[in-house]
Structure formats: C-alpha cells, structure tokens
Amino acid sequence: MKKLLFLFLAFIIFSCSSEDYKKEYELQKPKPNLSTPDNTVKSYWSFNIWEDTTTFYKMDTTLLEFYSATLKQYLLEKYNKRKKEFKEFHYISKNLIDKVDIESDSRAIVLTKELSYKDDDSFDETKYVFAKQGNKWLLEDIFIKCWNCNGTGETSDYSLYSRIKTTCKYCSGSGWKSQFYED
Ligand SMILES: [Zn+2]
C-alpha cells in the first residue's frame, strides 16, 4: 500500500517538474557494477535508491486530470516532503553485507541484513544468489528469510499435551522465500 501511494504521488511531481530536473536525475543514475558479488549487491541497492526517488519520469500523468487543484497541491507537498527525506537519507543505505561466499568460479551467495521500509526497526536476513556470466556476477534469485518459521523450515503446533512440528507452509520447509518466483 505504501508503495502504491508513493507511485501515485510520483505522478504528481512529474507534472510539476521541468525537463532540467529530469535531466539532472538521469545524470545521477548509477551504472551497474557487476565486477564481484558484493559490488553487484551494493550497486543494486544504489539503483533502488535512485529509482525510488526518480520513478516519476516514466509516469503517465492522465491520473492528474481526475483531481482538483487543492488535492493536487496537497499531494505535491506530501510527495516533496517524502522525496526530501529520501534524498537526505534512504533506509536502503542502512543495509549491511553480512557474508560473501564464493562457491565456485560461477556461483556465489551473499547474505545481507536489510530494512524493508522507512520506519522498519529490525533487519531482515536476505540471500542473494549469483551466476557468473562472462565477467559479470548476475543475480539469479533473491531470497528473504521466511517470516513464518524464522528460517527454520518448520512450525510448531501446540496442544495441551504435546508439541507437533510441521513443515512450514509458506516456504515449503526451505526457510527462504524467493522475491521473484512463486513457489
Ligand atoms: Zn517458513
């Protein structure tokens, strides 16, 4: 919902921003650095921060035709406030690389600790899986530690006399959930 609101607010600034503004941000777009697994992760984070603060370039402004001047003004101010906060400090910049595991010439795993939204106060464990193609370390998948079983792969059902462990239905026992693939 927060993401939707942000995208929606991004429409607003687009209609009010100049071409110069657009160019300025285009120049700040970070180039992917895929030279090592951890550089790819850091570069991916930088791009996500850039994208979060600049998505308005690609937005269709038709939605604005539905809103009154008062509503547009309110939303513009709200968006500007959020953009300023993000430019000063984006929660993604708190992310940490925990462990880099180069398994072979073409496979690697990077474990990280990440916040998933601005007011989040606890880090999620995330796993980046890499395949090397040519001289580039590319993302094959990104996994979040399963919130339901806390990465153990099993959940406990408590009854009066016993504790029964069952396979976690959210991650099918793996302890991780892919950000891209559905089961
Ligand atoms: Zn699970």
12-22 tens-digit pLDDT:
555 554 466 66
Measured in whole angstroms, the distance separating CA 172 from the mean position of its chain's CA atoms is 23
| Distance from residue 45's CA to the centre of ligand 1 (Å) | 25
Return the pLDDT at 121.
Answer: 86
How far is the C-alpha of 177 from the C-alpha of 175, rounded, in Å?
Answer: 7
- Which tens digits make up the pLDDT trace of 129-173? 999 999 999 999 999 999 999 999 999 877 767 778 899 999 999
Contact 145, 128 (CB under 8 A): no
**What percent of the chain has pLDDT above 70?**
82
Ligand 1 centroid distance, CA of 96 (Å): 23
- Ligand 1 centroid to residue 133 C-alpha, Å: 31
Ligand 1 midpoint to CA 124 (Å): 14
Looking at residue 72, what is its pLDDT?
83
CA distances from 7 to 49, 92, 100, 170 (A): 14, 17, 33, 28
**Domain span holding position 87:** 2-32+47-93
Kindly give the distance from the C-alpha atom of residue 177 to the centroid of ligand 1, in angstroms, as a whole number.
Answer: 8
3-state class of 139 per DSSP?
strand
Q: Answer whether residue 179 is part of any domain.
A: no
Predicted confidence (pLDDT) per residue in 82-107, tens digit: 777 777 788 999 999 999 999 999 99
Q: Which residues surround ligand 1, an ion (CB under 5 A)?
A: 146, 148-149, 168, 170-171
Q: Tell me whether residue 101 is in a domain.
A: no
Q: Is 23 part of a structural domain of the chain?
A: yes
Q: How far is the CA of 110 from the centre of ligand 1 (A)?
A: 20
Q: Tell me the CA–centroid distance for residue 167 and ligand 1, in Å.
A: 8
* Distance separating alpha carbons of residues 55 and 27, to the nearest angstrom: 14
Are 13 and 56 in contact by the 8 Å Cβ rule? The answer is yes
The pLDDT tens digits for 39-71 are 999 999 999 988 887 765 555 678 778 989 999
Q: Is residue 19 part of a domain?
A: yes
pLDDT of residue 60: 66
Task: Please give the tally of structural domains in the chain.
Answer: 2
Tokens of 171: 């991650």
With respect to residue 79, please indicate whether it lies within any of the assigned structural domains: yes
